[in-house]
Amino acid sequence: MATAVSVKTVVTPSAQAARWTIPTGGAAEANPLPINAATLAGGKKLFAAKCQRCHGPAGKGDGPDADAKYAAEMDLTNVARASRNSDGTVFYKIWNGRSNPKMPAFSEDTSKEQVWAIVAYAQSLRKPPSS
């Protein structure tokens, strides 16, 4: 037998972590919920329960569990950043999470409907440019 050469596929955590997992077509998915006061209030409650510890009470990335190094990436109120993310993109960022820097995947303990309510609220944090 020829010498077996063991080749390990090395995927560095940072290379893997550089991505969020957005399925094909996911970015184009529209929020199925009506964007009204009730949806936003529900989303706000869920945000306080599940997101605030990292993203902060106003979504600025300054929650107690946040790594200050990533405050800018976690600022959901920054128009320039937040406007890159369609509703579908925000949905899958929340649904699938990422490893480094760590954001938990919420698919395990949150329903799709709840995540869409959170999406509606998170997108409402994006401040319109002051005219």
Position 81 contacts ligand HEC (CB under 6 A): yes
Find, among 87, 109, 103, 89, the residue nearest to 39 by Cα: 87
From the list 100, 123, 118, the residue with the least C-alpha distance to 48 is 118
Query: Interface with ligand HEC includes 117 (CB under 6 A)?
Result: no
Q: Which one of residues 33, 92, 95, 103 is an interface residue with ligand HEC (CB under 6 A)?
A: 103
CB under 6 A: which stretch of 7-15, 21-29, 32-40, 45-53 binds ligand HEC? 45-53
Under rule CB under 6 A, residue 94 binds ligand HEC: yes
Q: Which residues, 6 or more positions from 59, have their beta carbon under 8 angstroms from its beta carbon? A: 47, 51, 75, 76, 77, 122, 125
Residue of the chain from 33, 39, 42, 54 that contacts ligand HEC (CB under 6 A): 54
How far apart CA 7 and CA 1 sit, in angstroms, is: 17
Residues near ligand HEC, by CB under 6 A:
47, 50-51, 53-55, 65, 70, 73-74, 76, 81-82, 85, 90, 93-94, 101-104, 106, 118, 122
